[in-house]
A and B are shown apart, each in its own frame.
Chain A
């Protein structure tokens, strides 16, 4: 893969280690403030994996799962049935031991707000994790009606334009929305109101608090020509620079890429519906039409495990096949 140029100097080994997981679906584990990831299959098989019963939570940490870009309503090559691949992803999540405390969905629940798409997602994810699912919208979920339907269904307890924060076992989570005010030229934008809220939200947190940011479009310039960047991300990251561990999770580009910038690690996620080309490869960011027998090696999910007292969270991407 050709994304090494996105990586800044000091953590090349970790980066490469993580890249080895690319295309294999991740499980995020927050452990002492540091997100780290392992392939789902590996997690299930690992003899030393902590066993804390049916819940992922223990005195020392917890697990959550990120899924992204379910694109319910998509019905073309390379995947005419994204409901089926979402169901396969859910089966993988249900098999996790310890179980995740909750799920995060980083947007594009639906494909262009196809009728019934939100119902399908809500129904399928309804009881997968005891703590429910935290959503942020993708542009496919909001462009048609400015987010009216999405926010009516998934925007409970959010602020302003749909953003939110919550805390879980000492980890501070920030769900940011960067698909409502596209800047000319196509990049995502957070907007001044959200940036001010973010700055205020973290002002009184200790710098040792592990922070997890989740949003749809990357907060780094993966490929601006395709809109794979967020125009005002630097302002958001400036508010987070003092923290010892910041993990940024996003979707939108349907593939695993990672970048490390100081104490901030960026992780883009696979889709459960269809892959997209590597940045700049081909005429545009449309579905990558791979043969059926390759499809599931390019779809997947991510588990994150937090262990108290250890810095980076463990981030593991795993594929469906």
Chain B
């Protein structure tokens, strides 16, 4: 009984942070652009990129922190940002496509 209460207490305490980290953060890839090109999210947020183009694209960080495989149409890739900072990324196939995630 005590154990269950503890779990409940922990879950309650963690709830606000958890809600922030799971807020939908989505970047659409369409017409050879990342939309929005710059996205601000809280620490712990998971960002999902969805490719809406007929061309394959990737999400490849400039610093090497994250890289997706080639995403075909309607495929997606997610990454959780646990540290504050600015993360610049591009498509490895079409590197003129660039984007930025600002983690605050």
**Chain A residues engaging chain B, CB cutoff 8 angstroms:** 76-77, 111-113, 139-140, 143-144, 182-187, 225-227, 283-287
Contact = CB atoms under 8 A, between A and B. Distances in A.
Given A139-B93, A225-B96, A227-B94, A77 B70 contact: no
Q: Which 7 A-B pairs have the closest CB atoms?
A: A186-B96, A284-B32, A283-B31, A182-B95, A186-B95, A112-B70, A227-B96
A140 B93 contact: yes
Quick one: which of A111, A182, A287 has the most chain B CB within 10 A? A182
Interface stretch (B4-12, B19-27, B50-58): B50-58
Contact of A283 (B32, B72, B73, B95): B32
Given A112-B72, A283-B33, 18 more contacts: A76-B73, A111-B56, A112-B56, A113-B70, A143-B58, A143-B70, A184-B95, A184-B98, A185-B96, A186-B94, A186-B95, A186-B98, A226-B32, A226-B94, A226-B96, A227-B95, A284-B53, A285-B94
Contacts of A140: 93
Nearest to B56: A112
B43 interface: no
Quick one: which of B62, B73, B93 has the most chain A CB within 10 A? B93
Contacts of B56: 111-112
Contacts of B70: 112-113, 143-144
Contacts of B72: 112
A142 to B, nearest CB: 9
A227 B55 CA distance: 15
Nearest to A282: B31
8 contacts: A140-B93, A143-B92, A144-B69, A184-B90, A186-B94, A283-B32, A284-B32, A286-B53
B97 interface: yes
A225 to B, nearest CB: 7
Contacts of B92: 139, 143, 182
B32 A286 contact: yes
Contacts of B58: 143
Nearest to A228: B96
Contacts of A226: 32, 94, 96
A143 B53 contact: no
A226 B90 CA distance: 13
A2 B17 CA distance: 56
B16 to A, nearest CB: 38
A67 to B, nearest CB: 21
Contacts of B95: 182-186, 227
A284 B93 contact: no
Nearest to B31: A283
Nearest to A108: B93
A276 B37 CA distance: 24
Given A112-B70, A144-B69, A144-B70, A286 B55 contact: yes
A144 B60 CA distance: 11
Interface string B32-53: 1100000000000000000001
A113 to B, nearest CB: 7
Contacts of B53: 284, 286
A114 to B, nearest CB: 9
B70 to A, nearest CB: 4
Contacts of A113: 70
A158 to B, nearest CB: 22
B54 A284 contact: no
Contacts of A77: 54
Contacts of B93: 112, 139-140, 143
A185 B73 CA distance: 23
Interface in B61-104: 62, 69-70, 72-73, 90, 92-98
Contacts of A184: 62, 90, 95, 98
Contacts of B54: 76-77, 286-287
